[in-house]
């Protein structure tokens, strides 16, 4: 197993300590004319390459629990092991987006990137305190002020939204327009709606995490089908119930996309009939994201005190979701790389994370301050709550 005590350190401000890293002396002399920001990016890149060639793996650093902040630590570790997001921060690419936008509110993205840089370049196995990051996330989302236990999936949504807003490439959002795309074929309509979305929301976070969902509403009287296309940051899947056998992730996906009948008080107004009609509604995925976040709905929305501890059999690799695609021949095969787990009950629960290290490919348990190697056979459990998948075409080699 790779040792967690063999790693490297880096101080991110202007001049990297060459004396600490002999392998950088020659490189630094040769590139002495480079600007500070480029030098830092080059330095971090060399550091990552050094880690890849080393027997030790970076990123194996725990996070201190500041008081019921295990929900935050679990999600941070999952995001830390999201390779494209990690590289975005380690290579300081986020600075370019922050600087280009000349924004005043950049503290959340800065602290998030700083925290990831510390976690991936620390020479110590000592746990890192995320207190400065917590200060910024609770400024952005006051619901996280204090030290009460929170829901990990809700925290993830607020965090990604906050990071996106600070690195959004769109400086001035266009005014809403009432363009009518209903006359277009569905595929073209979906593309137009996605382009409209990007006119307002366009960032590295969107590049990685956002997909597009298609909702089809079919009138039972006249057969008219209306379609709506909406972006999604994650999919919240209902847990299928079976009288026998295990429940699979595909069972939950099929339940999520199952055709529903809208009748009685739920009858919508048919566009063609101009009257409320019995309709069927169905979801399909129009555009799959590079990173697919699947949230298993273990907690009752009506009664937050109840939790479903059903074991969900989710695949580690080759999760083929093409049957849920709106169109054929779409790239929709995924590999698992991280899981946010919730053990216990709503009254006394605890969050941990299982993550596959993007450098070594090995799995580790992240339990606040403690990081320990684990077998991939242990990843699936009845505690799995938020699953992080990456497109197989972009999987780490």
Residues that are catalytic: 70, 350
Which positions ≥6 away from 12 have C-beta within 8 Å? 40, 44, 92, 114, 117, 121
Q: Residues 145, 350, 369, 54: is their CA dihedral positive or negative?
A: negative
Calpha distance 124→372 (Å, rounded): 15
Q: Which residues share a beta bridge with 237? A: 296
Q: Given the DSSP bridges, would you call strands 312-313 and 247-248 parallel, antiparallel or unpaired? A: parallel
Q: Which of these, 388, 74, 396, lies nearest to 208 by C-alpha position?
A: 388
Calpha distance 291→112 (Å, rounded): 19
Calpha distance 378→381 (Å, rounded): 7
Strand boundaries in the chain, DSSP class E: 211-219, 225-232, 235-237, 247-248, 260-262, 279-287, 291-296, 312-313, 319-320, 333-343, 350-356, 363-367, 370-374, 384-391
Tokens standing for 79?
């995001």
């Amino acid at each position: 197993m790779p040792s967690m005590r063999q790693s490297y350190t880096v101080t991110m401000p202007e001049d990297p300590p060459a004396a600490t890293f002999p392998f950088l002396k020659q490189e630094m002399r040769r590139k002495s004319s480079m600007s500070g920001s480029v030098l830092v990016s080059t330095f971090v890149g060399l550091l990552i390459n050094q880690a890849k060639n080393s027997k030790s793996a970076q990123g194996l650093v725990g996070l201190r629990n500041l008081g019921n902040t295990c929900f935050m630590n679990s999600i941070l570790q999952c995001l830390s092991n999201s390779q494209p997001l990690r590289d975005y921060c380690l290579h300081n690419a986020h600075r370019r987006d922050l600087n280009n936008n000349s924004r005043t509110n950049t503290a959340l993205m800065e602290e998030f990137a700083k925290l990831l840089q510390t976690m991936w370049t620390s020479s110590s196995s000592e746990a890192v305190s995320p207190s400065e990051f917590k200060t910024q996330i609770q400024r952005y989302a006051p619901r996280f002020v204090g030290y009460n236990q929170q829901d990990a999936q809700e925290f993830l949504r607020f965090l990604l939204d906050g990071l996106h807003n600070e690195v959004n490439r769109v400086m001035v959002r266009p005014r809403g327009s009432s363009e009518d795309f209903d006359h277009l074929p569905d595929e073209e309509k979906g593309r137009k709606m996605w382009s409209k979305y990007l006119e307002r929301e366009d960032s590295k976070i969107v590049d990685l995490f956002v997909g597009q969902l298609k909702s089809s509403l079919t009138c039972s009287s006249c057969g008219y089908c209306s379609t709506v296309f909406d972006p999604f940051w994650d999919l919240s899947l209902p847990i299928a119930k079976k009288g026998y056998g295990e429940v699979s992730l595909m069972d939950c996906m099929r339940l999520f996309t199952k055709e529903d009948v809208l009748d009685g008080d739920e009858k919508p107004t048919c566009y063609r009939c101009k009257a409320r009609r019995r309709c069927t509604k169905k979801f399909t995925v129009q555009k799959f994201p590079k990173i697919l976040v699947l949230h298993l709905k273990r907690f009752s929305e009506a009664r937050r005190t109840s939790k479903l501890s059903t074991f969900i059999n989710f695949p580690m690799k080759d999760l083929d979701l093409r049957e849920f695609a709106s169109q054929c021949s779409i790239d929709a095969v995924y590999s698992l790389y991280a899981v946010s787990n919730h053990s216990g009950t709503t009254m006394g629960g605890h969050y941990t994370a299982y993550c596959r290290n993007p450098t070594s490919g090995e799995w580790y348990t992240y339990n606040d301050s403690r990081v320990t190697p684990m077998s991939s056979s242990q990843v699936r459990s009845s505690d799995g709550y938020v699953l992080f998948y990456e497109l197989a075409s972009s999987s780490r080699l």
